[in-house]
Chains A and B, each alone.
Chain A
Amino acid sequence: MIREMLRLAVWGLTPKRPEIVETLHDYGLLHVVNPVEPTPPSEEEETLKFTRAKVLGMLEGLEWKDWPSLTEESLAAARERVDLGIDGVVVEIDRSLDSFRQRLAALLDEKRRLAVSLADLKKAHQVVFHFIPFVSSEDSSDRDLTLWWVKDTAIQKTLSALRGRIQKKSPEGAEPRDTLRFHLLNTDKGQAVLALSVGSAFAADADEVMRHQGTVPWKAPEGFHRSGTRETLFAVEEGLKETGNRLEALSEEISRARDDWGPRLASLYILLDEKLEETLVESRSLTRGDTFLIEGWIPADSLESLVNLLKSRFGDAVLIQWRYPSSEEWHRVPALLNNPAATRPFEILLKLMPHPLYKGVDPTTLVAIFFPFFSGCMVGDAGYGILIGLLGLWLSRNTRHPLLPPVGKILIWVCGWSIAWGITFGELFGDLGHRLFHMEPLWVERSHAVLPVLIFTIALGVAHVSIGLFLGFLEGVRKRHRHLWMERLGSLIVLLSLVGLLFIVRLNMPRPFFSLNISFLVIGTALLLAGGKLGGVIETFSALGNVLSYVRIAAIGLSSAILAIVATRFVDVLGLSFLGILMALIIHILNFVLAIGGSGLHSARLHYVEFFSKFYQGGGKEFRPFSRRRFSWKKPC
Chain B
Amino acid sequence: MEKALLALAASLAIGIPAMATAYAQAKIGSAGAGTVAEKPETSGTMIILEAIPETIVILGFVVAIMMILQLA
Contacts and interface: CB of A to CB of B under 8 A. Distances in A.
B35 interface: no
B42 to A, nearest CB: 10
Interface string A554-598: 010000000000000000000000000000000000000000000
B51 to A, nearest CB: 4
Interface residues of B, number: 15
A81 to B, nearest CB: 37
Given A548-B55, A552-B54, A450 B62 contact: no
A352 B41 CA distance: 7
A609 B48 contact: yes
A451 interface: yes
B47 A548 contact: no
Contact of A353 (B44, B59, B62): B44
Contacts, number: 39
Majority SS of interface residues in chain A? helix
Most buried by A among B44, B61, B69: B44
B4 to A, nearest CB: 21
B17 to A, nearest CB: 12
B22 to A, nearest CB: 16
Contacts of B65: 450-451, 454
Given A605-B51, A609-B51, A354 B61 contact: no
A545 B47 CA distance: 18
Interface string A341-376: 000000000001110000000000000000000000
A353 B44 CA distance: 5
A117 interface: no
Interface residues of A, number: 16
B58 interface: yes
Interface in B7-61: 41, 43-44, 47-48, 51-52, 54-55, 58-59, 61
A450 B52 CA distance: 24
Interface of B: 41, 43-44, 47-48, 51-52, 54-55, 58-59, 61-62, 65, 69
15 contacts: A454-B62, A548-B55, A548-B62, A549-B58, A551-B58, A551-B61, A552-B54, A552-B58, A555-B58, A555-B61, A604-B47, A605-B48, A608-B47, A609-B48, A609-B51
Given A454-B62, A604-B47, 7 more contacts: A352-B47, A354-B41, A451-B65, A551-B62, A555-B61, A605-B48, A609-B52
